């Protein structure tokens, strides 16, 4: 895992916590196809690593978490090409298969595909002023990685419809009130809090935690 460019990966062998960090600051951590490929490979690696028992996904302590798809790549991607490369599907499949607890630590933007990644995690910790949204309808498309279904399951059909059909965003504080974000913190406390939670979970029986997660998802 030494050849990652769009991501940073660190593993604390003492606590059993892996940290995945988006690493495209010049693009506000917007992802390209290469980012998706790296994330799929990283998730597969972590899921098979016996020393890793919980994972945190972050855009770094100062954010942003992820501004979604890199529009410079999106505008050059035809519909047929998107289907050919299973656009975003490999990522959502990898997240769905991931058997260990995974926590999103969201600071700044989590928009479009970035929000979908957070939605696919098991727990979301966020900054009070973090910005979540699925703005795809504003650029003539729809969320393409299962975000429509995940948001509806989290918020209920009607509230999810409001966000999806308008493309409007809301803060971490608002989404905590709605039950999607587990806890909010001042910006500087988000990553430490998410890491502490991951360490707590990782200290428990790994087989039991795996079964408990599966029981919720099935």
Q: What is the pLDDT of residue 159?
A: 97
Q: Categorize the per-residue pLDDT at 71 as very low, low, confident or very high, splitting at 50, 70 and 90.
A: low
Q: What is the pLDDT of residue 72?
A: 64
On the question of pLDDT at 66 being above 70, the answer is yes
Structure tokens at 171: 């803060």
Domains of the chain, by residue range, sit at 7-217
Average pLDDT over residues 148-170: 96
Q: Which residue has the tokens 């935690």?
A: 209
CA 50 to chain centroid: 22
In terms of CATH, what superfamily is 7-217? 2-enoyl-CoA Hydratase; Chain A, domain 1 (3.90.226.10)
Average pLDDT over residues 31-37: 88
Q: Categorize the per-residue pLDDT at 69 as very low, low, confident or very high, splitting at 50, 70 and 90.
A: confident
């Amino acid at each position: 895992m030494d050849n990652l460019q769009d991501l940073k990966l660190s593993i604390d062998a003492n606590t059993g916590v892996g940290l995945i960090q988006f690493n495209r600051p010049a693009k506000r951590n917007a992802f390209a196809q290469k980012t998706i490929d790296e994330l799929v490979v990283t998730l597969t690696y972590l899921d098979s690593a016996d020393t890793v028992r919980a994972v945190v996904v972050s855009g770094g302590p100062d954010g942003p978490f992820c501004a979604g798809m890199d529009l410079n790549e999106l505008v050059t991607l035809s519909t047929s090409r998107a289907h050919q490369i299973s656009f975003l599907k490999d990522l959502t499949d990898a997240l769905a298969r991931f058997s260990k607890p995974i926590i999103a630590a969201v600071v700044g933007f989590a928009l479009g595909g970035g929000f979908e990644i957070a939605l696919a995690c098991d727990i979301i910790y966020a900054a009070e002023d973090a910005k979540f949204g699925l703005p795809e309808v504003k650029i003539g498309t729809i969320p393409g990685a299962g975000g429509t279904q995940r948001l509806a399951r989290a918020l209920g059909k009607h509230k999810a419809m409001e966000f999806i059909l308008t493309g409007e965003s809301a803060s971490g504080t608002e989404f905590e009130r709605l039950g999607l974000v587990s806890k909010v913190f001042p910006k500087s406390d988000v990553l430490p809090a998410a890491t502490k939670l991951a360490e707590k979970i990782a200290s428990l029986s790994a087989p039991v935690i795996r079964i408990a997660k599966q029981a919720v998802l099935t």
